[in-house]
Chains A and B, each alone.
Chain A
Amino acid sequence: MDAAIVAGLANALTPANMLFALTGCLLGTLVGILPGLGPASAMAILLPLAVHLPPEGSIIIMAGIYYGAMYGGSTTAILMNIPGEVSSVITAIDGFAMTKAGRAGEALGIAAIGSFMAGIAGTLAIALIGPRLADLALKFGPPEYLGLVIFSMSTLVSFAGSSLVAGIALGILGMWIATVGTDPLTGTQRLSLGSIQLMKGFDIVPVLVGLFGIAEVLTSLQQKVARIHMGPLGSWLSMIPRGAEMARGLAASVRGTVLGFVMGLLPGMLPALTAYLAYDVEKRISATPERFGTGMIEGVASPEAANNATAMAGFIPLLSLGIPTSPALAILFGTLLINGLTPGPLLFQAQAQLTWTVIGSMLVANAALLILNLPLVGLWARLAQVPYSVLGPVVLVICVIGAYSPRNTMFDVWVAIAFGLIGYFMRRLNLPLAPLVLGLLLGPLFEQSLRQSIAVAASPLDIIGRPIPATLMAAAILVMGATVVVRRRSSAVGQLIKDSTNET
């Protein structure tokens, strides 16, 4: 066993495997920077390649794309207010505010440092608990998930913008949009109006590409923004935050890492969701919550660390239980199978050297990503210094490709354009986008866990009487109540909520 760890780690340092790691990271960063094109679709496109590469090579590349995208997604979110990945949506709020204040360098710096920290800590955690963990995820049955989803929904209240009613209504609208298509229980059609296209439902990718990518381009074109990037980046050394700000950023990164990692062990907790939660936690524990949305370093550090930690954490249920917790990991699961590897607790023993090579390559990849994202960030940032008349159309084209690629259908392109217009008008009307997105993400999880709970429970007491769901639901009510009370009492907090939810 010990010999296999050493052999595996050494194997990760062979030129071929380091090249695979670097290629994956480069592709992942690119995918992360391009709005719309997500890691899942990029991995899906590359899946046929996996057959031609050696097993460890294909897994290392796929994994590199997956967490590379988590790093890359923050770059455009911070510099251009266009999240390259859904998981960086929340980073844009304070990240872009920092850019507008001329502190883009520090924002990118802490995002890269936080991501790196989460990546390394995550890798070590995988190495430590991966082989030992098999029971934790199994404790979570449908009622426990229901509790978790309800708790996640309590964040709706704090993302609700200036009007609580409008925010909650938008959250419900998001859930409603998510129900269009095929009923997961009976297979019957819901709200498809007899259309074959609507039977597929709205995929999250084109909706987000529209709401964020296309709407952003439309808004920027209308505002006649000549250049998006506001401040000079300076040398890469000057990008590293200093003094008290560095300390605050690092502390937030640690909190984000822990939260993202723990939540990331559970299926359905996508990096986007944990980034939301991490941001919310930061805002709640901050001594100056009213300054969120104006360029708080915590608002960048914590969600960026959280989304990376979640991405890493997903490897634990995947490798040790064979449970993919997100679509991108499901594709990685397929990559493992194509290479003849069956994930499970046995994987760490039966394929010890290969498993440790992959884990070793995660360390290599995270180091590579730090280099790609700190000294080379200027390179990526040049994307943003291109005049908007050039960049806008390019972003639009990428959005269209990104909307098309996950399901290879023109319908999704029309959906993206429609949601682009919706997002544009929502911004003009000062309506927050966050609750709508949260509703879209949580709606299907809520429906599924509720219907599953009803199926397994003999009475409602079987659901709310269990300790984990009961605690989570009580916590959700407390949090919502507290938020409402604080909003009423303090106009400053009301303003913070308004500012933080109106991204532009």
Chain B
Amino acid sequence: MHSRAPIAAGIALSLGLAFALPAGAQEKYPSKPIDLLVPFAPGASTDTGGRIIAQALEARWKVPVRVVNKPGGNTVPAVSEVMTAKPDGTTILVDGMPQSSMLDTVVKTLPFKVEDRTFLAVTSYTPIMMFVPADSPFKTVKDAAESLKKDPGSFTWTSIGGASGLDMAFRQFCRDNGIDVKKTRTVVTKGGSEAVTLASGGHVMLGLGTYTGAAASLSAGKLRMIAVAAQERWPTIPETPTGKEMGFPSLNVEFWVGFSGPPKLPAHIVETWTKALAEIVADPATKEKMAKVGLKDLYEDAATMQKRVARERRDTQDLYK
């Protein structure tokens, strides 16, 4: 009979596994499906950035890596779920500024401590940019600053509400100009695309957003990009200066996509992740995929990521005093 052999092999295998499990001090990781929790809706930068990595991890680890979107509630419900998950590496957060650096400034009564999470790595970022209607009198970001200083009470700009990367960039701009942000006129939109529309239609004086959101209107000549809130200029618009170059030193919001786990994630799991992420980000194929969705590859290991969050957190607290 043919069928005996596979059965025998199956028994042997399961016996082997049964012995192997208690024998090894550490279970092989990853051996189970992994859930990547995204606290935003599908299609957002955090989501697309997370999915690119998820796909690469799946190919590498041969276990399902699922992206699960749990949007809403200022990211608190999704983050909370990761913070209380079993630290076995099967529940990981797709991290970013709103769900880490800015979170405890926005939501005062968090059921967890932001810095308690296990940081893994940063994988990509997209800088916040400032743009104005094509027919705006602001030729450069300095013109915008002059107008802001002269009459803050009539200065309209777009935010996506609460504490967001966009909101933070404008507050940094106000701080550099010595203006109280509360005196300005905030126009809150549901998302980045609406901010682009408002600016393109000339309904606000200054729009803020990412390159991806503004690209279409920019190439159609409806918008003029006046500043990039990052350390470096953005590759697709090399003519637009950074905030720092124009004399606004603290204008810097690199909206990043990274990964973190529940508190007390074992060291061998952290190591598996950081090693895999470093290699994935270094792969030219990944860089190309990121560039397509408007992200730029940026690898920072767990320690650097932790420092980044701490630095951004201090800045947020200062900006939202």
Hey, which bits of chain A sit against chain B, CB under 8 A? 44, 47-48, 51, 134, 137-142, 181-189, 192, 194, 196-197, 199-201, 203, 267, 321-324, 327, 330-331, 333-334, 337-340, 342-347, 407-409, 448, 451-452, 455-456, 458
Closest residue of B by beta carbon distance from A199:
B73
Contact between chains at B186 and A455 (CB < 8 Å): yes
Contact between chains at A345 and B186 (CB < 8 Å): no
Q: Which residues of B contact A186 (CB under 8 A)?
A: 161-162
Contact between chains at A201 and B220 (CB < 8 Å): no
CA–CA, A196 and B69, complex, Å: 16
Q: Which residues of A contact B106 (CB under 8 A)?
A: 187
CA–CA, A407 and B38, complex, Å: 10
Q: Which residues of A contact B190 (CB under 8 A)?
A: 184, 448
Give the contacting residue for A184; candidates B73, B156, B161, B204; CB below 8 A.
B161
Additional 6 contacts, C-beta under 8 A, given A346-B219, A407-B72 = A138-B202, A141-B201, A142-B203, A192-B73, A199-B74, A201-B72
Contact between chains at A322 and B69 (CB < 8 Å): no
Q: Which residues of B contact A192 (CB under 8 A)?
A: 73
Does residue B111 face the partner (Cβ distance < 8 Å to A)?
yes
Closest residue of B by beta carbon distance from A50:
B51
CA–CA, A339 and B220, complex, Å: 20
Contact between chains at A185 and B161 (CB < 8 Å): yes
Closest residue of B by beta carbon distance from A184:
B161
- Knowing A337-B292, A452-B188 are in contact, say whether A200-B109 is a contact too (CB < 8 A): no
Does residue B97 face the partner (Cβ distance < 8 Å to A)?
no
Give the contacting residue for A327; candidates B41, B68, B74, B202; CB below 8 A.
B41
Q: Which residues of A contact B161 (CB under 8 A)?
A: 183-187
Does residue B206 face the partner (Cβ distance < 8 Å to A)?
no
Q: How far is the CB of B26 from chain A (nearest CB, A)?
A: 30
Does residue B30 face the partner (Cβ distance < 8 Å to A)?
no
Q: Which residues of A contact B72 (CB under 8 A)?
A: 181-182, 199-201, 203, 407
Does residue B305 face the partner (Cβ distance < 8 Å to A)?
no
Q: What are some 28 contacts across the A-B interface (CB < 8 A)?
A: A44-B69, A51-B51, A137-B201, A138-B197, A138-B200, A184-B188, A185-B161, A186-B161, A187-B161, A188-B162, A196-B111, A199-B73, A199-B77, A200-B73, A321-B200, A321-B220, A322-B193, A322-B215, A330-B42, A333-B43, A334-B43, A337-B293, A345-B219, A407-B72, A408-B69, A409-B70, A448-B188, A455-B185
CA–CA, A452 and B185, complex, Å: 9
Q: Which chain B residues in 44-102 approach chain A with CB under 8 Å?
A: 47-48, 51, 54-55, 67-74, 76-77, 80
Contact between chains at A334 and B187 (CB < 8 Å): no
Contact between chains at B80 and A323 (CB < 8 Å): no
Closest residue of A by beta carbon distance from B154:
A458
- Closest 3 A/B residue pairs (Cβ): A187-B162, A344-B216, A334-B43
Q: Which residues of A contact B185 (CB under 8 A)?
A: 455-456
CA–CA, A312 and B190, complex, Å: 22
Does residue B228 face the partner (Cβ distance < 8 Å to A)?
no
Contact between chains at B216 and A343 (CB < 8 Å): yes
CA–CA, A337 and B156, complex, Å: 30
Give the contacting residue for B188; candidates A134, A323, A333, A455; CB below 8 A.
A455
Closest residue of A by beta carbon distance from B164:
A187
Q: How far is the CB of B57 from chain A (nearest CB, A)?
A: 13
Does residue B302 face the partner (Cβ distance < 8 Å to A)?
no
Q: Which chain B residues in 242-295 approach chain A with CB under 8 Å?
A: 292-294
Q: Which residues of B contact A134 (CB under 8 A)?
A: 220, 222
Q: Which chain B residues in 204-249 approach chain A with CB under 8 Å?
A: 204, 212-213, 215-217, 219-220, 222
Contact between chains at B77 and A451 (CB < 8 Å): no
Q: How far is the CB of A316 from chain B (nearest CB, A)?
A: 13
CA–CA, A397 and B2, complex, Å: 43
Give the contacting residue for A408; candidates B43, B70, B80, B111; CB below 8 A.
B70
Contact between chains at A47 and B216 (CB < 8 Å): no
Give the contacting residue for B41; candidates A139, A330, A451; CB below 8 A.
A330
Which residue of B185, B197, B204 has the most chain A CB atoms within 10 A of its CB atom? B197
Contact between chains at B203 and A338 (CB < 8 Å): no
Contact with A along B132-147 (1 / 0, CB 8 A): 0000000000000000
How many pairs, one residue from A and one from B, have CB atoms within 8 Å of each other in the complex? Answer: 163
Q: Which residues of A contact B187 (CB under 8 A)?
A: 142, 452, 455-456
CA–CA, A347 and B217, complex, Å: 11
Does residue B198 face the partner (Cβ distance < 8 Å to A)?
yes
Contact between chains at B216 and A196 (CB < 8 Å): no
Give the contacting residue for B216; candidates A187, A338, A345, A456; CB below 8 A.
A345
CA–CA, A493 and B231, complex, Å: 66
CA–CA, A249 and B277, complex, Å: 59
Does residue B196 face the partner (Cβ distance < 8 Å to A)?
yes
CA–CA, A189 and B72, complex, Å: 12
Give the contacting residue for A337; candidates B71, B111, B196, B294; CB below 8 A.
B294
Contact between chains at B42 and A334 (CB < 8 Å): yes
Does residue B163 face the partner (Cβ distance < 8 Å to A)?
yes
Contact between chains at A182 and B186 (CB < 8 Å): no
Contact between chains at A342 and B215 (CB < 8 Å): yes
Contact between chains at A137 and B70 (CB < 8 Å): no
Closest residue of B by beta carbon distance from A43:
B42
CA–CA, A321 and B194, complex, Å: 11
Contact between chains at B42 and A331 (CB < 8 Å): yes
Does residue B189 face the partner (Cβ distance < 8 Å to A)?
yes
Closest residue of B by beta carbon distance from A140:
B201
Q: How far is the CB of A328 from chain B (nearest CB, A)?
A: 10
Contact between chains at B55 and A51 (CB < 8 Å): yes
Q: Which residues of A contact B74 (CB under 8 A)?
A: 182, 187, 199
Closest residue of A by beta carbon distance from B194:
A267
Q: Which residues of B contact A321 (CB under 8 A)?
A: 197, 200, 216-217, 220
Q: How far is the CB of A412 from chain B (nearest CB, A)?
A: 10
Give the contacting residue for B222; candidates A138, A181, A407, A452; CB below 8 A.
A138
Contact with A along B163-178 (1 / 0, CB 8 A): 1000000000000000
CA–CA, A141 and B185, complex, Å: 15
CA–CA, A139 and B191, complex, Å: 19
CA–CA, A31 and B140, complex, Å: 49
Closest residue of B by beta carbon distance from A201:
B72
Closest residue of A by beta carbon distance from B291:
A340
Contact between chains at B41 and A342 (CB < 8 Å): no
Q: Which residues of A contact B76 (CB under 8 A)?
A: 196, 199
Closest residue of A by beta carbon distance from B68:
A408
Contact between chains at B42 and A44 (CB < 8 Å): yes
CA–CA, A339 and B319, complex, Å: 37
Closest residue of A by beta carbon distance from B35:
A408
Q: Which residues of A contact B48 (CB under 8 A)?
A: 334, 337-338
Contact between chains at A201 and B73 (CB < 8 Å): yes
Closest residue of B by beta carbon distance from A324:
B193
Contact between chains at B188 and A346 (CB < 8 Å): no
Contact between chains at B189 and A452 (CB < 8 Å): yes
Give the contacting residue for A345; candidates B41, B111, B156, B220; CB below 8 A.
B220
Contact between chains at A334 and B70 (CB < 8 Å): no
Contact between chains at A196 and B219 (CB < 8 Å): no
Contact between chains at B197 and A323 (CB < 8 Å): yes
Closest residue of B by beta carbon distance from A447:
B188
